[in-house]
Structure 1
Amino acid sequence: MKKVYLLFVFFCIQNILAQANPDDTIQVSVLTVGVADESHSLYGHTAIRIKDDFRGIDRVYNYGMFDFRTPNFILRFIKGDMQYFAGAYPYADFEDNYHYENRSIYEQTLDLSTYKKLALITELEKSISGDDKFYTYKFIDRNCTTKVADVINDVLQKEVVYKHDVSDLTYREVLYPYAENQFFQKLGINLIFGAKTDQQATKIFLPFDLKNNLAHTEYKDKPLVSETKTLFEATRIPQKVWWDSMYTLLFFLTLIVVINNSVVTHSYFILIGILGIFFCLVGFYSFHKEIAWNYNVLLFNPVLLLVAYFRATHKRTAFMWSSFIALASLVIYLLYMINKVHLVIVWPFMVANAVLLIRGLILYLGREKQRK
């Protein structure tokens, strides 16, 4: 009987303390969402959860929101002035959405004082209603993950959250494994990215990068994360389409080389050249620094348009010079690509271009010699 009485007193005291200082019931945590196969979900997602059982609050602050109805959405996204914004909604909706998409949810509870929790909530509320609600999205420098890291650092008034595990890896090398099961998506990503992504990855910009670094972050001589939980573990089976592989690319490029038809070769060069022009123009047009100075134009070379044109119009000297320039560009590209991670997926284009250019020179010059 005495034990029951003492237990009753204990719970009464705990309830009184909770009512006297209800802010102690606030839980602040960082949510990391698993990856999926679609382009927008390829790298995961980050958000902040505020849970307060005393007040019946459980909501998520999400910095990765955008409106598909934005006028000229595609052009603005490519240009790099697309406006993302922060929003807040019930955690139940957040969880239901990622259950539906079959994406894991991991939670890291932050060990903060009551004062810091309230300060963070104040900043989060400002971010969804104030002048800073909208921000210009940048793939590396400003996204849902960097915004979460920034708001935590602002509240702590110190750069506590930063990349602890800096290695020699570049941003491109960090990104490369994420599209392991989507070959053509990986190929497209690495072709559109320029020189900036080959810089050393010194910033936290991916959700799981933030998750891993938070696990090693300390604040006031103790771990910033007090608890890590798996809220939902997805049972994902990677979606693998039979044709989405290196073998498909090799098949078509081999077919183009083996057919040895001038119309097919010219069409290939025209397509490659147009893509090269696109890489050049989008690099100048876009504010995304990640796609500027794209050296892949040495492979997808606009000069190939001239090669096709001069050969079709039998302009011998111009054809020779344009072919030599394209071949020299390939050699420079190969030397530059020696230590690049995406060499293993672009080499079929290098071989195909080299074979077609050299064979074209040999055949064309041979015919010109016979005519003489």
Structure 2
Amino acid sequence: MTLAGRIALIALIILCSAIAPARASVAEAPGENLDISLITYGPGDIYWERFGHDAIELRDTVSGEEIDFNYGVFNFDEKNFFFNFARGRMHYLIDAEVTTDEESFYQQAGRSITKQKLALTPQQAAALRDFLFWNLRPENAVYNYDYYVDNCTTRVRDALDRALGGAIKARLTQSPGGMTYRQQTNRLMSAQPWLMLILDLGLGPYADQPLNAWQESFLPEELQKSLRNVAVPDGHGGTQPLVQNEARLSPNRLDVPPVAAPDLRIPLGIAGLIFAALIAIASRRARLAFALLSSLYLILAGLVGIVMLILWTLTAHHSAWANANLLLFNPLAFLLVRTTWRAHHYITPSRLANGALMVQLIALLVALLAHLLPGVVQQNQPWILFALPIWLALAWSLRQTTRA
């Protein structure tokens, strides 16, 4: 072995010797020597980082050693990863890291780090520690990830709530949430408008249900805020705040997400009117352009409809089920593509095409009337405002073109 190799080996042994006691001391420390903290990391730049992240920190007050436990690890190299992702059966797992290593990564990325020290009794701290180490075992580490109800933050929340005997859930289920799943998603994804629009289009009524604070704490930021309002017994017959103190360990150096979700009605409504006007004008002055524009819209509408049907019937993405946008974009659109080219040559639409167009116009009317009925949950007005003028322009243009 070369001198450089020996030095590297010695350094590795020293490093392993330094890390091993950290895990061992935290694992073996009595509950009265354990400090429990919630570590919240701000949103990142990459789309899968936009929701933020968090971890539970266990600190041995005697040795000073700290370990972060987080539930946000996934592996692109896992067998059938992308197929499982498409089916809504993503596999995530818990991991543990030395706190300084974990925090160094987020500091370098420019993401904020906030630490909330929590008031757990020695018995609760020991029980939480034992649960987390049990969860680290290979047979227990993997779980089926869900964006809204079973993610890296809800797992942290549930572990803390379990140790506290349900105190967090009891408090947060009594408080209303501030936004819906759709609003939070649009707010946090607004830095990538194209992705925000795709997600908004694909979300069904599940994403618009009213939330309480417990449900909304699927987000690290919301869990961090909500814990400030939780009180626990102080051991003397009274109560004390669960959050004993809160400190910002590292500032945010990235763009901050807006406090409210963007209103998509005006921009999508304007986009729909512009596209409709282009179709109407082209039908009178440039028939080839009319056929191209109409075909583009119809093919995209049909493809979007197929994807939404697949998400509803063949996947576990329950937030996309029963999507009312299927009334606006669906495979019936494919039946009209040939008709736009026939109209280019002044050929009358077939009975099948006329029937498909009539069904689509009725579907539009149903989509509009649905918002006047009680109990309608899905908030898809922006997409109605986008699709309605385009479908009306298509219907009018086909009628005028074949009359000419």
Scaled by the length of structure 2, what TM-score is found? Answer: 0.77
- Displacement of 1:125 after TM fit? 0.6
User: How far apart, in 1, do the equivalents of 2:203 and 2:148 lie?
Assistant: 12
Question: Within 5 A, what are the aligned runs for 1:161-180?
Answer: 161=169, 162-167=172-177, 169-180=179-190
Q: Does 1:274 align with 2:303?
A: yes
Deviations 1:269-326 (A, max 9, x none): 0121111111101221211211111111112221111122345465422221111111
Gaps of 5+ in 2: 1-28, 234-238, 258-265, 284-289, 343-347
Deviations 1:316-353 (A, max 9, x none): 22221111111222222233457865534663333223
2:231 match: secondary structure: coil
User: How far apart, in 2, do the equivalents of 1:84 and 1:53 lie?
Assistant: 31
- Displacement of 1:255 after TM fit? 7.8
Greater than 6 Å deviation, 4+ residue runs: none
Q: Does 1:362 align with 2:362?
A: no
Question: Within 5 A, what are the aligned runs for 1:244-263?
Answer: 246=267, 253=275, 257=279, 258-260=281-283, 261-263=290-292
**Could you tell me which of 335, 341, 348 is aligned with 2:386?**
348
**Contact 1:64–1:84 (CA<8 Å) still a contact in 2?**
yes
User: How far apart, in 1, do the equivalents of 2:137 and 2:167 lie?
Assistant: 25
Query: What residue is the counterpart of 1:10 in the other structure?
Result: none
Query: What residue is the counterpart of 2:228 in the other structure?
Result: 215
User: How far apart, in 1, do the equivalents of 2:277 and 2:58 lie?
Assistant: 57
1:98 match: secondary structure: helix
Query: What residue is the counterpart of 1:147 in the other structure?
Result: 155
Scaled by the length of structure 1, what TM-score is found? Answer: 0.83
Deviations 1:93-145 (A, max 9, x none): 21122122211111111101112111111111111115321100011111111
**Contact 1:59–1:90 (CA<8 Å) still a contact in 2?**
yes
User: How far apart, in 2, do the equivalents of 1:206 and 1:78 lie?
Assistant: 22
Query: What residue is the counterpart of 2:19 in the other structure?
Result: none
Q: Which amino acid aligns with 1:205?
A: F
User: How far apart, in 2, do the equivalents of 1:61 and 1:252 lie?
Assistant: 51
- Displacement of 1:201 after TM fit? 1.5
Compared with structure 1, are the counterparts of its residues 163 and 178 closer, same or farther at alpha carbon in structure 2 (3 Å cutoff)? farther
Q: Which amino acid aligns with 1:211?
A: Q
Q: Does 1:81 align with 2:89?
A: yes
Compared with structure 1, are the counterparts of its residues 28 and 173 closer, same or farther at alpha carbon in structure 2 (3 Å cutoff)? same
**Contact 2:276–2:389 (CA<8 Å) still a contact in 1?**
no
Q: Which amino acid aligns with 1:271?
A: L
Q: Which amino acid aligns with 1:187?
A: L
Q: Does 1:107 align with 2:115?
A: yes
Query: What residue is the counterpart of 2:17 in the other structure?
Result: none
Gaps of 5+ in 1: 1-20, 240-244, 368-372
- Displacement of 1:175 after TM fit? 2.9
Query: What residue is the counterpart of 1:330 in the other structure?
Result: 364
Q: Let me know the Cα RMSD of the aligned residues.
A: 2.8
**Contact 1:167–1:201 (CA<8 Å) still a contact in 2?**
yes
- Displacement of 1:29 after TM fit? 0.7
Identity %: 24
User: How far apart, in 1, do the equivalents of 2:78 and 2:278 lie?
Assistant: 41
User: How far apart, in 1, do the equivalents of 2:384 and 2:40 lie?
Assistant: 32
Compared with structure 1, are the counterparts of its residues 107 and 329 closer, same or farther at alpha carbon in structure 2 (3 Å cutoff)? same
1:181 match: secondary structure: coil
